[in-house]
Amino acid sequence: MTRYFLDTEFNGIGGDLISLALVAENGAFLYLATECRNPVPWVAEHVIPIIDVENARPFHVKPYQFGDGIKSYLGDDPSPEIVADWPDDIRYFCQCMIIGPGQMINIRSIKFELCRVDSYPTTLPGTFQHNALWDARALRHKIMGEIS
């Protein structure tokens, strides 16, 4: 079992998914982003400008491709454990797993853990708060207690 630390960014409360990141215990990561049309003002100011920053360059996908990216990244892990610090992150992840009516990506078993912790402030160098990859890295750092 490998733990993967999850973060997402979305267009306001209940809005469309913009980006999703998973960071494995070993530091390997998946970072996906999609176009955000008509971002709410807060997202336009705090999220959109830092989607693509140094050491956090996403693979740009169409919204329906998030599930395929997750499946490819998790690969053959027989029992991944997804760790998040906010319920919406898990909700958006689960929505990405659904790829059609009555269809989901082929994951045999998956566990979710919600750890209500504050990842910021952090001693992890180079972070950009509200960038999904850096936030997932900060969560990993907080929970595992190491710099990576």
**Which pLDDT score, from 0 to 100, does residue 148 have?**
43
pLDDT at 75: 86
Q: pLDDT tens digit string along 110-137? A: 999 999 999 998 889 889 999 999 999 9
CATH number, residue 28:
3.30.420.10
pLDDT at 16: 97
How far is 35 from 47, CA to CA, in rounded Å? Answer: 12
Q: Which domain holds residue 18?
A: 3-144
What's the structural domain count of the chain?
A: 1
AA identity, residue 84: A
Condensed to tens digits (0 to 9), the pLDDT of residues 42-101 reads 999 999 999 999 888 999 999 999 999 999 999 889 999 999 999 999 999 999 999 999
| Cross-strand pairs, 59 | 32
Q: Where are the extended beta strands (E) located within 1-148?
A: 3-10, 17-24, 29-33, 59-60, 81-84, 98-100, 103-104, 111-114
Please indicate whether residue 1 or residue 2 has the higher confidence score (pLDDT). 2
- The pLDDT assigned to 147 comes to 44
Q: Does residue 80 have a cis peptide bond before it, meaning omega lies within 30 degrees of 0?
A: no
**How far apart, in whole angstroms, are the C-alpha atoms of residue 63 and residue 129?**
23
Residue 146's pLDDT band (boundaries 50, 70, 90)? low
pLDDT (0 to 100) of residue 76: 85
What was the pLDDT predicted at 66?
Answer: 97
Q: How many CB atoms neighbour CB 20 within 10 A? A: 27
